Structure 1
């Protein structure tokens, strides 16, 4: 007869599924798991985690430009898979100049085309709707970065984030940049202009007309080779006239 006071052996807890294990990882762990260069070659993931964490469980759409693998068949898509498991409810979209359709999977959709082709960018927007996060990991050529930003930033969701990777090419003439740090055509020149634009309400030039980015860039976060731009309403007002009384008294 079984002793009623004797406890049954405790059954081991079921082993978490692969999806559960991935869902529990932070972004750096996911980057390591999927072997992306966003951790290791670069140190981007801690910065992304800081800014992307509030979106992790929201039904957002993320566009990454540049899928990786270049023209090699069957290569690329590592970071798209990482984003899929980081943004648990997110739709992940990739754009590449090469055909990367083999990466397509539930919650991952790829498009082929140039990052500077407005027709391609608009087709993506028409298909997937509003973008909350854009990550430009494309050609890294300043002229391409600037054209893509000019088209996509106005179409980014309010409260969204726009990331530009590998900004070191701004300083490399071989990659379309310049060794003149005052060259106005580089990616970093764009970034510096956005920083100035944050404070457009303090400009003393009364004839100045604020640009779209002046009005809608609310923060510019600069890291080593990475910039993350926040979109919102940049109309806080100014006490410029009250403080600079002598200047305006003369007018």
Structure 2
């Protein structure tokens, strides 16, 4: 067996390599190989260590790449990160199930993301979801919409890795201004704003248009559709859940009525999925 070793960064790493070599003689499968890599990672071999191993049976292994793979699998989940920063997305609510299902595969991609609501009205103060998103998405270009100007001014020094636009998401003129200034083209939009019916409905109607093909728009706190204080459960006033029901209907009649006769949002949707107090609206991919 020919072995080439270079760029060892510590005595601890050397000890890890010795342990690795002792065990590699019994290597029979890639599954066993990955187990060894996890062991070497625990003993000090890191992603700065580059090792090439030629095994007599012809198996070529790049430890650097596989150790990185093992590290990615062992990194904290959205749920764990959310608990770390105390966001109610994973404490009072259970949005983590939806986010881990659909956002984990996008985690390492360069993304442009908008969240409506900095959390200025939360008991624990703003920024919990901001820090959660930044740690979960290492390559994210983050945008925020927040209506509380005083809160934004106070917290701007702490929110250095995001662009914040101050205004009411229930104001169509403001939303159109945001579209023009931000340039659109968002991979992900999360509505965690004021939760009032006009705010949720106007935001989806206007901002879904700037979600990229294949992107996702999430709307949280849909339980407010049944709360009079938020404009829900009010005769003669459409709730967000009623709009979602209409979109679902349009999505299934599209083939018969054509895209010009249904809601514009529905004409751009590929699918719609709802969980507990949250729905995800999936933008159609580009036609091939």
The Cα of 1:111 is off from its aligned counterpart by: 2.0
Aligned with residue 87 of structure 1, among 137, 157, 162: 137
Q: Following TM superposition, where does structure 1 have runs of at least 4 consecutive aligned residues deviating by more than 6 angstroms?
A: 205-208
Asked if structure 1 preserves the Cα contact closer than 8 Å seen for 2:179 and 2:207, the reply is no
> 1:164/1:14 Cα in 2 relative to 1: closer, same or farther (>3 Å)?
same
- SS of the equivalent of 2:113 reads strand
Give, in angstroms, the shift of residue 123 of structure 1. Answer: 4.3
Query: Is 1:63 aligned with 2:114?
Result: yes
Is residue 2:251 matched to residue 1:201? no
Secondary structure of the corresponding residue to residue 188 of structure 2: strand
Gap change, CA 1:137 and 1:206, over 3 Å in 2: closer
- The structure in which a higher percent of residues are helix is 2
Select 1:13's aligned residue among 25, 44, 52: 44
**Match of residue 273 from structure 2:** 221
Q: In structure 2, which of residues 219, 226, 231 is the aligned counterpart of residue 171 of structure 1?
A: 226
Per-residue CA shift, 1:207-238, capped at 9, x if unaligned?
Answer: 97233223211111111111111010699xxx
Aligned-residue CA RMSD (Å): 3.1
Q: Distance in 2 between matches of 1:137 and 1:185?
A: 19
Provide the C-alpha distance between the structure 2 equivalents of 1:150 and 1:206, rounded to a whole number of angstroms.
19
**2:218 paired with 1:187:** no
TM-score, structure 1 as length reference: 0.76
Within the candidate set 78, 87, 100, 1:36 is matched to: 87
Q: Alignment partner of 2:265: what SS? A: helix
Match of 1:3 in 2: none
* Secondary structure of 1:42 counterpart: coil
Q: 1:36 to 1:176 in 2, by over 3 A?
A: same
How many residues align? The count is 219
Larger Rg computed on CA atoms: 2
Partner of 2:209: 154
* Structure 1 portions without partners, runs of 5+: 1-7, 236-251
Query: In the TM superposition, what whole-angstrom CA distance separates every residue of 1:82-141 from its partner, at most 9, and x where no partner exists?
Result: 1111111111111111132233223x2222111133454344434443111111111111
Q: What is the alpha-carbon distance in structure 1 between the residues aligned to residue 271 and residue 263 of structure 2?
A: 15
TM-score, scaled to structure 2: 0.67
| Structure 2 alignment gaps of length 5 or more | 1-10, 17-42, 48-70
